[in-house]
Structure 1
Amino acid sequence: MNKFRGFLFLILILLGCKEKTVHLGKEISFDKRMNISYGVDAEQKLDLYIPKRHGQIKNVFIIVHGGGWRGGDKSELTFFTLSLMQKFPESVFANINYRLASSSRFALPNQTDDVGKAISFLEKTLEYKLTFILLGNSAGGHLSMLYAYKVNTKFKVKAVVNIVGPSDLSDPNFKNYSDYSFVENQLVNPVAPPACISKTTFASPTRSIHDNSPPTISFYGNNDQVIPSSQKSILDSVLSKNSVYNKSFEFSGGHLDWDKEKNADFLLNKIDVFLKQIK
């Protein structure tokens, strides 16, 4: 893996150039299209990677970055996206940005709307039947789950890969989150939830799980100081109660340690096995 990491570093340098093809080894190459607009807002951009071997395409991964709903950028997941491309050379990859929350703009439902807009854009842009896999870390994991369980009414999402994403915002243990006041006051547009539903319930993925929710694999750190371990157990329990196929794993380290070399290999291998089981 060390040699492969060095190779990917060179690929990252190439991505900053005008090269329109990413080569990831023997017979693995992708066309790349950077900073494509999928909406009218300046933040609605995505990087698109399409396998050269069109006849072999199986799935579309939509990669959703973290950053506390108010920060972060798709470039932070470019490296992991390249690792996924090496592991899944017959899939399309879309690494997306979305409208970030601010003092004048709520995160939800804007950000789940943006996931939907990216899906619609890809359906119109690509010329084959698509199934989607949502993969996100932290806030991106939360958005991936929330879209898949709450908004995915046409069941276009085949699976969810959740990496350290909060699953139940009303969990008492999660209230120790350093910026929980943002979760309570700025995460959700107050006009979005029905009158009988609180904002934290509206924004909690576990509250929208049903028996047709897509299979989900989750990863949490065993020393995460941001997302408590109770988030993993709550998510596992609700998915299982609704008979949704699910797997969850712990990796060694904290909230930001999931993409360290040993952990990244662990995640990639578990994701590979999981997706093969839900063909």
Structure 2
Amino acid sequence: MKRKLDFIFLCFIVSFLLTNCKEKKVTLGMNISFDKEENIHYGNDSDQVMDLYIPHQKSTKKRDVFIIIHGGGWHSGNKSQLTFFTLSMMQRFPDYIFANINYRNASQTQYGIPNQTEDIKSVITFLKRKLKDSPKIILMGNSAGGHLSMLYAYKFDSDKEVKAVINIVGPTDLSDPGFKTYQEYSFVEQHLVDPKILTKGTSAVHFASPVYWIENTSAPTLSYYGKTDRVISITQKTILDSALNKNNIINESYEFNGGHLDWDKSPNHTFLIDKIEAFLKRTDKK
């Protein structure tokens, strides 16, 4: 029965892509619909674009915003990787606004940070202006996107606009021996962080590790890690859990069966969405 339902949903998604990709409205059934704007520029760079989904049904209630941040080792990837998952989230959270974003990639000639964290800030600023509101933000990303979600929330969110972080297989401590086996670790060391923003005695690896910026006012965090992930070791989960608990931050973490790319496969994605829903209800009571 479960496989049948998954197949039906897959057919629905294919139908959506074929019939709605050019339309300005996304209909997800059960009276759920969103107004859609694709490839909105929130900055001057060609990579600074996002897809925005706003509930079609008007409401006097203040809406929170999910900002969805893709993975790709900080130097590749695209928001299209998370379109299906974003649609699944929209079905479960029909009263939320969703922004599925691209950001400036790191390269041999361009550092990832602070560009990428500044891009998150630019998205938030753009949304506040467009929505004529100051919504609470939920940062959600996978892999590098999970890392950037945590790093922005713990280090750069000076206005405390981030309500929660949903971290999916994101690295938390880049100095962890379990992460140093990452095949592009030298790229992380040399091209992730611009040396100009480092204070004396602070390494790029230390600066870029979200776990080092956790304090008792950090955003509540839900994490999801693969038991057989060969890219991001399960030790990253343990390190993050410990730091969050030490600072009395509301947090939950879960493990799924599979590797780095298996988090959005059935039944893992359904389990994750269930946990996100329960977690946000918990943080709302905070």
1:220-256 residue CA offsets vs partner (Å, 9 max, x unmatched): 0000000011100000000000110000000110000
Equivalent position amino acid for 2:15 in 1? L
Corresponding position of 1:40 = 44
Deviations 1:73-101 (A, max 9, x none): 00110000000000100000000000001
Question: Within the alignment, does 1:30 sit opposite 2:53 as a pair?
Answer: no
Q: In the TM superposition, what is the alpha-carbon distance from 1:15 to its structure 2 partner?
A: 4.1
Per the alignment, in what secondary structure is the counterpart of residue 232 of structure 1? Answer: helix
Report the equivalent of 1:90.
95
- Counterpart secondary structure, 1:112: helix
Distance 2:68 2:173 in 1: 21
Q: 1:116 to 1:129 in 2, by over 3 A?
A: closer
RMSD: 1.0
Answering whether residue 180 of structure 2 is matched by residue 175 of structure 1, we say yes
Letter of the 1:120 counterpart: T
Percent identical pairs in the alignment equals 54
TM-score, normalising length: structure 1: 0.98
Correspondence for 1:225: 230
Count of aligned positions: 278
CA deviation after TM superposition for structure 1 residue 183, in Å: 1.0
Correspondences of 1:1-279 after superposition (within 5 Å):
1-2=5-6, 3-17=8-22, 19-55=23-59, 56-279=61-284
- Aligned equivalents of 1:9 and 1:93: distance in 2? 20
Question: Which one-letter code corresponds to 2:24 in the other structure?
Answer: K
| TM-score w.r.t. length of structure 2 | 0.95
Name the CA distance, whole Å, in 2 between partners of 1:113 and 1:172: 28
Does structure 1 conserve the Cα–Cα contact (< 8 Å) formed by 2:151 and 2:210? yes
The CA deviation at 1:8 is 2.0
Deviations 1:88-120 (A, max 9, x none): 000000000000011110111100110010000
Q: Which secondary structure does the structure 1 equivalent of 2:175 belong to?
A: coil
Shift of 1:128: 3.2
**Distance in 2, Cα, partners of 1:121 & 1:197:** 32
Aligned counterparts of 2:259 and 2:223: Cα–Cα separation in 1: 15
Gaps of 5+ in 1: none
Further displaced range: 50-59 or 193-202: 50-59
Structure 1 runs of 4+ aligned residues shifted over 4 Å read none
1:26-79 CA deviation, whole Å, 9 max, x = no partner? 210000000000001010000000001231453100000000000000011000
CA distance in 2, matches of 1:70, 1:14: 32
Name the SS for the 1:220 alignment partner: strand
